[in-house]
Chains A and B, each alone.
Chain A
């Protein structure tokens, strides 16, 4: 399955709209995600979801609870490997390489495709050690202090913590903890940052800060985000995929209904399901 998939670049994929060529649509595809069927044991969780994640853009996954948006996101750096009974048909290509190929090490994949979780999850150690974690994982030999400072500055946290780098990361507020986790994730300069509802545990002020941060970060990284907040998707995402739950075949299987430029998807959705879902939120 690995190999020649650079050909996927710039192709209009799946349900995306070739006509609506925004700036984001011209970017190179970093992750080409094509999930035909995804199972947890006997349970079919997701089907027919094709999402190209493009370089230096923010791609949002929206949809009702249980539609599999987090599942899809976790497929992109093989976090689902931790779930027993997980298997899927299809492929996920990262820069043209199939990350599910038997020869690929999931651990290495996660070093290129970092993750920020729903709950802020700093380690029970100092702020400095939290950010330096990834550097230590990779046996980074250079100037750790400079790297840590750079990551904390990028995560817009440096000014708040520069005087207490050696106090516990757990002592920070929820919003600060989440930015610390973002700093930790970007310290090793991954290609792609996956964010699984990064703001759902935060208050509006902290949410705003993290959103501003995402817009900053996309100049250097590529971001894919799962969010429950449609306003957030509209504010930050260049491209948005809408997933919905299909209950017609007995189970509850999520699938991609529509994918495209965020503005276009929110203002004039092509599909009825999308229209209904977005109208419910915005009216």
Chain B
């Protein structure tokens, strides 16, 4: 029973890892938390659903298509909105991301209504292994997320682009002196964030179903994961996501399942009280 919960929690955590990673990457470069992350997830899920159910692509191809679409949408948001507001401070960016979140979510609602949609995808029997039930969706989630995480870590730590991204996150002025343009790096980061959230949208849609509030339901856990890891730390976001996933699943031992979302909120509050730098650095206190 507990082993099953741990397994489920681990997979839930992996699902959170991609958007938490996206959130933390954009925070590192642009120094504002993107409140549109949930809406981007929803939008990605709908993009995949359109490609999969309406255009008849296999789900894997649809997921790639949705990642490409979302990367473009994220870049478009940056070109049209974020880059124009970059000098106005993080609060303005924060509020503008709320605006973008409303726009993205309601484009989906306007086009497809509030009905829940499912991907055209064969449901397979769960695998049984030493008394554990492993769903096919869980297996897919684990493989996709672990692959993405390895790719991102390789990108960040073993490529010139990753070095440039880390340089801009660390000290934009110094990076600029060395010829690394913040604007270009910011755009590329938005593309990566778009891809990651779109993929997580597809995985979330597999796990639940696609509806306009899909991403909103993950919003607080995503933030909890990123804050737990220390906003701006990619490794921290992944570890944070797994901790949040485990905490949410294991909470069902003591709490009614309706209160799962409160767990993430409690983690955030507790963390801000006790260790406001998160697990992996980052500064939270103003003065």
A and B pair up: no
Give the B-binding residues of A (Cβ under 8 A): none
Chain B interface residues toward A at CB < 8 A: none
